[in-house]
Amino acid sequence: MLPKLDSYAALAVAVGVNLQPGQPLVISCPVDCADFARLIAEKAYDAGASEVVVRWSDDNITRQKYLRADDAVFDTLPQWLEKFFYEHADRGAAIISVFAEDPETLLGVDPNRIARWQKASHAKLKDYYERQMRNDFRWCVVSAPVDAWAEKVFPGREDKNAALWDAICRAADLRGTPEETVAVWQDKVKRLGGFAEKLTAYNFTKLHYKNSLGTDFTVGLPKNHMWSAAGELAADGVRFVANIPTEEVFTLPDRSTADGVVYAALPLVLSGNIIRDIRLTFRNGKIVESYASEGQEFLDAELDLDEGARYLGEVALVPYHSPISALGVLFYNTLFDENAACHLAFGEAYPLFTDVTELSKDEIAARGANSSMTHIDFMIGTPDLSITGITADGREVPVFADGDFAEL
């Protein structure tokens, strides 16, 4: 195992979930990445974890289930699994997810089965996901190679797993020692937080996107929206970083005010399938037309999950010349690819309001926050992307120019 993984595991525990002494930790992880999960568990116990619980997954078993299981199983979430999520959340556990999968795990699977399982899961775990979105507990997503993913990113290379590990470590800003890595990330949180504060102060009413791919799109932002970045505050007052790596500064849009056309700049891995060349047309906030040169049926299945799936839940700003983009690697993994380019997400919105603690669920919805059982990021950033912010008094402020942040 690479020496830097010691720093990666320590980063996930100390900065990602900021584990506190006496707190339990849940790790969700593919069986292929067991060594990394064990290293995270070791760091967690070193930090004083009361208990570490691991929930394993396996791409092969998942694929077999979707292809061969009885049809009825996709309409019901097992009670034991529902209980697992809620019990650990109620215990105040922190959650680390090792997101690593074959980008084509579910290639050829009936999209109806996938959609039904998503609906059944969301129906039972709706409150859990809402708690996660409002940071009732601390959570973090990290990653590690699996063979099929490494082959997709570095096809034909004998050292593909080592090459992917190296790319992951570089994307995550891992340095020599855990202490050095933590210090680098503390600086990153401060730098990205500065951008978020400046954007929040502008209180833009809308953003206008344009580039040579054909994107020409305006999205409204709700009153008193707040921009967020790497460091987030959990309900217990402890700061954490939900994604490692991260380069984004993001907020929520007004669900009813998106208009125009958006072209994806990178492929999207969705439900174990690759979707290419996405084009979405918006009218009054809603996606009224969708296109993909590959994987159209999976894109449409996701957009048809519920009413909110055809509305936006996130706008995120990432400089085209970000450290991850500079690697020149297409990861086929949203955790990395979304941090190489500006992106949008259709589906559920994070309730990012400056006065969110004073708002009820109904008031949050009335402000324009979208609600859905899905949240799918897709990448739209290009070297020539321009984004203009419009203030309440009609002033136009350059936010992005030639793919990167303008002077704010």
DSSP 307-367: GGGGBEEEEEE--TT-HHHHTT---S-HHHHTTSS-EEEEE-----BTTGGG--HHHHHHT
Give the pLDDT score at 356.
87
Residues of the chain with CATH 3.40.1830.10: 4-179
Give the pLDDT score at 4.
82
257-277 confidence digits (pLDDT tens): 999 999 999 999 998 899 999
Average pLDDT value over all residues in the chain: 95
Confidence grade of residue 407 (pLDDT, cut at 50, 70, 90): confident
Give the pLDDT score at 371.
95
> What CATH number has the domain spanning 4-179?
3.40.1830.10
Pairwise CA distance, residues 354 & 80, whole Å: 37
Q: What is the mean pLDDT of residues 186-208?
A: 95
Judged against a pLDDT cut of 80, whether residue 92 lies above it is answered with: yes
10-50 confidence digits (pLDDT tens): 999 999 999 999 999 999 999 999 999 999 999 999 999 99
Judged against a pLDDT cut of 60, whether residue 206 lies above it is answered with: yes
363-401 confidence digits (pLDDT tens): 999 999 999 999 999 999 999 999 999 999 999 999 999
Judged against a pLDDT cut of 60, whether residue 1 lies above it is answered with: no
Give the pLDDT score at 31.
98
Judged against a pLDDT cut of 70, whether residue 184 lies above it is answered with: yes
In the chain, the amino acid numbered 249 is V
Give the pLDDT score at 76.
96
Give the pLDDT score at 271.
84
Which percentage of the chain shows pLDDT scores above 90? 93
Strand 279-283 relative to strand 286-291, pairing: antiparallel
Q: What is the mean pLDDT of residues 154-179?
A: 93
C-alpha to C-alpha distances, 259 to 199, 293, 375, nearest whole angstrom: 22, 22, 19
Judged against a pLDDT cut of 90, whether residue 175 lies above it is answered with: no
Give the pLDDT score at 359.
87
| DSSP bridge pairs for 259 | 218
Confidence grade of residue 140 (pLDDT, cut at 50, 70, 90): very high
322-373 confidence digits (pLDDT tens): 889 999 999 999 999 999 999 999 999 999 999 988 888 899 999 999 999 9
Pairwise CA distance, residues 11 & 182, whole Å: 6
Confidence grade of residue 307 (pLDDT, cut at 50, 70, 90): very high
Q: What is the mean pLDDT of residues 291-304?
A: 96
